[in-house]
Structure 1
Amino acid sequence: MLRNNKKSWNCLFVSGLSTVSKLQRLYKLTSLKPNPDLDLDLDLDLDLDLDLDLSMRAVGVVVCVLAVLCVCDAVRFGQLCSGNPANNRRTSDSWGQGHYGAGRTTRVHKGLDIVCSDGSVVYAPFDVTLGGGLTVYTDASKAAINSGINLRGEGLCFKLFYVSPDRTSGSVRKGQRIGTMMPMQSVYPGMTSHVHVQMCDKSDPTQYF
């Protein structure tokens, strides 16, 4: 789906011009006819090889166009937390780091931490469907931040940890309130308070920020 933003349309315009030029050249190649005044004995195998080569070139052009469209129109998360319009990430603190793949005591961090002060409003990063609440921990001592929400939107399935959702079903438009950031400092004093963003398949969400 194409989004109505200047960056996408500029990219599509440039790639479109390039594609038109390629297709025009391809059309000229496929439209060549033998000169009837010349006594040419064209070998059938050569004709088949030429047709196959041209067909493969056409397929290559189509694949390149689709790749350009995908890159130009990549999904980006809008603002997640009030007070952090740029979606700044948790870097390093006394408890560790917030990037995807960061080391933990017995595991690897499977999400991306976006800075969010305790009590801040959490927003929908784009139009989303709420897929129910979730429990982050089994440890009762972490009950103060033991909540989150499942979401789907823009072809993505993801979760937000440490968010107290206003509701857990229905749809929310981009920029509308989803809930509030839970009191992380009460459980992890000194840690940079943050919303943990995790893809449903536990792949790296960094590309969307």
Structure 2
Amino acid sequence: MVYKPRYIRTKEIVGTALITLLVLSISQFMKFTLLNKIKAFRGCDNWGCGSFGASRGEHKHKGIDFAMAENDVVLAPFPCEIIRHGYAYSDLSYKLIEIRGLRSYSDYTAKIMYIKDFAPVGTIINEGQKIALADNIAARYSTTMTNHVHFELYLRGKLIDPTNLF
């Protein structure tokens, strides 16, 4: 057994802690490309508010809503790969995609809902490029709800508030 002085272990621990703090602080300052080119979030309407954590009766809103008209281009918030197609509800009319970030965004996954005309699973999309078109939600909610695209963000699998990243 080789004896290692105690201070080397302390240096290793401090070094690891500093690297961890640096990585976490960098991720806190990352900014994403807006999904709708203009910083227009859905405010409050007859159906509720589009902000993260807004009341939804017995649960909270899991994402943020970008106000968009039907057929507006939805942009990729970061470089990503489409990893899944799905449905926003049991109603097969409303679709979603799940994306996984690439490179420095690899810890992020996101769900983008109320969209159409998106690429197949496995497609790589660069930040700021078209990822889909906004759908029309009036058939489900009526015209009293602001048309929007819903965005949920996960960091290492945990749901987070994406508001300050835009």
1:198 maps to: 152
Q: CA deviation at 1:73?
A: 4.5
**Would you say the 8 A contact 1:133–1:165 is kept in 2?**
no
Write the distance in 2 (CA, Å) between the matches of 1:64 and 1:138: 46
Alpha-carbon displacement from aligned partner over 1:128-185 (angstroms, at most 9, x marks no partner): 1111321111146xx3xx1111111112121100011332221111111111000123
Kindly name which structure, 1 or 2, has the bigger radius of gyration based on alpha carbons. 1
Q: Does 1:149 align with 2:104?
A: no
Runs of 4+ in 1 over 4 A off after TM superposition: 51-55
1:184 maps to: 137
Judged with a 3 Å threshold, the aligned counterparts in structure 2 of structure 1 residues 152 and 165 are, in CA distance, closer, same or farther, namely: farther
Structure 2 gap segments, 5+ residues each: none
Q: What SS does the corresponding residue of 1:150 show, helix, strand or coil? A: strand
Instruction: Single out whichever of 188-197 and 151-160 deviates more from structure 2.
Output: 188-197
**Would you say the 8 A contact 1:114–1:194 is kept in 2?**
yes
1:67 maps to: 21
**Would you say the 8 A contact 1:149–1:165 is kept in 2?**
no
Q: CA deviation at 1:124?
A: 1.1
**Would you say the 8 A contact 1:148–1:165 is kept in 2?**
no
Q: Does 1:80 align with 2:80?
A: no
**Would you say the 8 A contact 1:123–1:176 is kept in 2?**
yes
Judged with a 3 Å threshold, the aligned counterparts in structure 2 of structure 1 residues 70 and 105 are, in CA distance, closer, same or farther, namely: closer
- Superposed CA RMSD in Å reads 2.6
Judged with a 3 Å threshold, the aligned counterparts in structure 2 of structure 1 residues 165 and 151 are, in CA distance, closer, same or farther, namely: farther
Decide which structure has greater strand share. Answer: 2
For residues 1-209 of structure 1, the aligned pairs below 5 Å read 52=6, 55-56=9-10, 59-60=13-14, 62-74=16-28, 75-82=30-37, 84=38, 86=39, 88-139=40-91, 143=93, 146-153=94-101, 154-155=105-106, 156-169=108-121, 170-188=123-141, 189-199=143-153, 201=157, 203-206=159-162, 208-209=165-166
Aligned residues: 153
Decide which structure has greater helix share. Answer: 1
Write the distance in 2 (CA, Å) between the matches of 1:100 and 1:187: 21
Higher relative contact order structure (alpha carbons within 8 Å, sequence separation ≥ 6) = 2
Write the distance in 1 (CA, Å) between the matches of 2:152 and 2:134: 16
Judged with a 3 Å threshold, the aligned counterparts in structure 2 of structure 1 residues 105 and 202 are, in CA distance, closer, same or farther, namely: farther
Write the distance in 2 (CA, Å) between the matches of 1:73 and 1:103: 28
Write the distance in 2 (CA, Å) between the matches of 1:111 and 1:56: 41
Percent identity over the alignment? 24
